[in-house]
Amino acid sequence: MADDAELIKRAHGVTHDRQLSPSAEAGGVGAALLTGNGKIYTGVCIDTACSMGYCAEHNAIGTMITEGESKIITIVAVDDEGRILPPCGRCREFIYQIDPYNSNTRVILPGGRVKSISELLPEHWREDKTARELAENSSKG
């Protein structure tokens, strides 16, 4: 299974900041995630002038979903200079909602720190018995 250094390398490897059009650019941030099946998916951000773009984490998650997976073990985002970036609030919420297990997803943070999505989303609005049970059952299988 891939380690954190490999995920960071893969995320940085897909960054290639480029102008797509006068109103869109892509690749300034790359993300890599490791799934429950041991696969790594990557993605880049797309930034547009009118807020229709999305983060690199969304791109990687979309590819993962397309391939039939939803459980994220570890995720990281890296800018084109190799700096690790914490996920924005929208990405944290997106990761959490994709699969009940993902409350346990390891997020690689700057400074060599790692936290779970549930640690990054304290007092979550969806935190109820059903969500906890689904996450616990999902992590067992």
CA distance 7 to 77: 9
Instruction: Identify the active-site residue in 57, 69, 127, 136.
Output: 57
Give residue for tokens 């900041």.
17
> Which two structure tokens, joined as six digits, stand for 115?
């936290």
Longest CA span, the chain: 48
Active site residue 93: no
Beta strands in the chain (DSSP E): 18-21, 24-35, 40-48, 72-79, 84-85, 106-108, 114-116
Neighbours of 87 (CB within 10 A): 24
Residues annotated catalytic, as ranges: 57
